Amino acid sequence: MAETTWHRRHILSLETFTPAEYETIVQTAESFRQVLSRRTKKVPALQGQVVTNLFFEPSTRTRSSFELAAKRLSADTLNFAPGTSSLSKGETILDTAKTYLAMGTDLMVIRHQEAGVPLAIACELDRLGANVGVLNAGDGQHAHPSQALLDLFTLCSVLDAEAPSIELLKRKKIVIVGDILHSRVARSNLWSLSACGAIVHLVAPPTLLPMQFVAPFQNAIVGTHQLRQVQLHWQLEPALAGADFVMALRLQQERMTQHLLPSLREYHQQFGITRDRLSLCHSAVKLLHPGPTNRGVEISSDVMDDPALSLVSHQVTSGVAVRMALLYLMGTYHASST
């Protein structure tokens, strides 16, 4: 592992991340990806440390990815399950977090259905002078930084498997299609991809992509001079011309009952990713999806299953390496504060 310096105790949102930080994450993840290609896929980096998964919003998939990342760093893991917990006995979320802090948690991975909970917990732990890092594993519609970072690492790895780097993303055209308005994945990807110089095109029906959505991203300048490049589309096909990557978002079926979308069938007809539509893109186009997928809704089954087109499995694999990198980097900060 190369020497790296890392200056964040918590990873809550990507708004203020610099290109240098993204590059550090990509390089650290790449070194862990190499570890994971060995037969013995463990390193002793977090031996004796405790990583607690506080998933107030249940998720098997993301929790497993973090749990495996922690175990491969030789950490001990604790899993908090809200169903059988003190929460149902009237305990506040902050008190739950403080209980796991007091037990000896070093790094806390938090998912909650409400935006801002990981930040609130991090602030409270800081106020208490706790030397513990908080990683936001998804909060409401706000942010899902580890998903965006694994997407970033996936893109860099695809562009150059031998030497992935954020430099490769400059002026690449990335189309994100789906329920932009409610997607924490889209928001976090917007921050990371635009900061690395990619040109991001957002596509959704008008009910899911209001004009004012993009303003905060466009007005947030990267470093001293670089403008973030984000464009909006209400139709998919015109947006696809020359696209290097297409990222389909997961469609949450409760949007139907909110009358934001007509039907799954019509959504697929207008916004589903099919082989025909991918032919409108750059010839080497690749598809991303954060999973779990609704086959035949966001993407057609044949695209999903074509390894020449789909990066879905690649993303999952990248997820473990990137989460190892994030826990490792937070762990170096944690150790330097001890």
Applying CB under 8 A, the residues found at the interface with its own copies are 36, 38-42, 47-50, 58-61, 64-65, 67-68, 71-72, 76, 78, 80-81, 83-86, 89-92, 95-96, 98-104, 250, 253, 291-295, 313-317, 319-320, 335, 338
Closer to its own copies by CB, 98 or 282: give it: 98
149: closest CA among 23, 59, 3? Answer: 23
Tell the residue number behind the tokens 């105790």, with chain if given.
9
Instruction: Say how far apart CA 330 and CA 69 lie, in whole Å.
Output: 13
CB count in 10 Å sphere of residue 105: 24
> Could you tell me the two tokens for 6?
């890392």
**DSSP 3-state assignment of 39?**
coil
Q: Toward its own copies, which CB reaches closer, 16 or 253?
A: 253
Cis link prior to 292 (omega < 30° from 0)?
yes
**Shortest Cβ distance from residue 102 to its own copies (Å)?**
4
Name the residue nearer to its own copies (CB basis): 40 or 224: 40
CB of 120 to its own copies, least distance (A): 15
- The smaller minimum CB distance to its own copies, of residues 203 and 324, is found at 324
Other CB atoms closer than 10 Å to residue 301's CB: what's the count? Answer: 10
Q: How far is the CB of 211 from its own copies (least distance, A)?
A: 30
Taking the C-alpha atoms of residue 278 and residue 265, their distance in angstroms, rounded to an integer, is: 19
CB of 97 to its own copies, least distance (A): 11
295 forms beta bridges with 299
DSSP string covering 190-252, please? Answer: HHHHHHTT-EEEEE--GGGS-GGGGHHHHHS-BTTTBPPEEEEESSSGGGGTT-SEEEEPPPP
The least CB distance from residue 88 to its own copies, in Å, is 9
Q: In Å, what is the CA distance from 252 to each residue of 180, 184, 260, 261, 264?
A: 11, 12, 11, 11, 10
